[in-house]
Structure 1
């Protein structure tokens, strides 16, 4: 018999108490939550070493992966980040104060601005993403390469089906 994790133990209890109830969702979403909460501390330690929090890193890495010249309109940023414009404004002010981003006039639209990484922001984001990916690869060490690919494909399929529902 397979070893039971915390979610497996809960499912076993529910199977005893409510055998008619399908707990497949718990097997998937419950485990996703346990995993996310479990690795969060390790990942946040990486960002902390670079003087960033998760929100700061999200902004910097979004600008970095946009490619040269590492700039986006605020509306593009908050769409990528899935946060409110007010939440983005606070993050940008904090990052600008630290010299990691600048807000510059949009040469294509004088009424708009662009958010751009500074060279320090580029360096910090680049170093943090490399370290983050190293830690995440280490955390996935219990899976074979084939298992990682299968899991990633299944999660992508689930994500697409949830996005189609507007979630």
Structure 2
């Protein structure tokens, strides 16, 4: 028997478990990220979801509650509660938008920006740890692949 045949039969051996699915691996990465982000954010009293919403506002100031909910991966109802909590803490503010009638625009306060900046370095270090074993090209390919997966699922 040739080496190729031996290798091929060994690769399909019923005694070896199937490799984990991509969905399983992505979920495991997400759970690991969330656990470590919880550790980083614990002292400031914000949750990962609140932190996500604040970082979205840092990138795109003046969003409506519905837009912020969509970009932060939560329901509109959950976002309404989150906005109220973050506003009470002085991390964001709602103001009437003169261009959109009754729509309220949400913006970070200086306290919100300060909170984010206190965590920037540790969050960047977490991402660096996650990607440490990947070369620059692999990082770019991973980002591109994940973006394509995200777009594909947004069409479903």
Q: Which moves more between the two structures, 85-94 or 106-115?
A: 106-115
**Counterpart in the other structure of 1:38:** 32
Give yes or no for contact 2:69–2:79 (8 Å, CA) kept in 1. Answer: yes
Q: d(CA) in 2 for partners of 1:59 and 1:15?
A: 47
Q: Distance in 1 between matches of 2:151 and 2:125?
A: 26
Does structure 1 conserve the Cα–Cα contact (< 8 Å) formed by 2:62 and 2:107?
A: yes
Count of equivalent residues: 146
Structure 2: tracts of 5 or more residues without a match: 1-10
Task: Report the Cα offset of residue 113 of structure 1.
Answer: 1.5
Are 1:53 and 2:47 counterparts?
yes
1:136 corresponds to: 127
CA distance in 1, matches of 2:137, 2:14: 34
TM-score using structure 1 length = 0.74
Q: Give the structure with higher Rg (CA).
A: 2
Q: Which residue of structure 1 aligns with residue 5 of structure 2?
A: none
Query: Measured at CA, do residues 111 and 162 of structure 1 come closer, stay the same or move farther in structure 2, by a change above 3 Å?
Result: closer
List alignment gaps of at least 5 residues for structure 1. 1-11
Compute the displacement of 1:110 (Å): 4.0
Residue aligning to 1:96: 87
Structure 2 counterparts to residues 5-84 of structure 1, below 5 A: 16=14, 26-66=20-60, 70-84=61-75
Change over 3 Å in CA distance of 1:155–1:15 after alignment to 2 = farther
Cα separation, 1, equivalents of 2:51 and 2:73: 14
- Ranges of 4+ aligned residues in structure 1 off by more than 6 Å: none
Q: Deviations over 1:109-139 (max 9, x none)?
A: 4422121211101111233244312211122
User: Residue in 2 aligned with 1:115?
Assistant: 106
Within a 5 Å distance, the mapping from 1:150-161 to structure 2 comes to 150-161=141-152
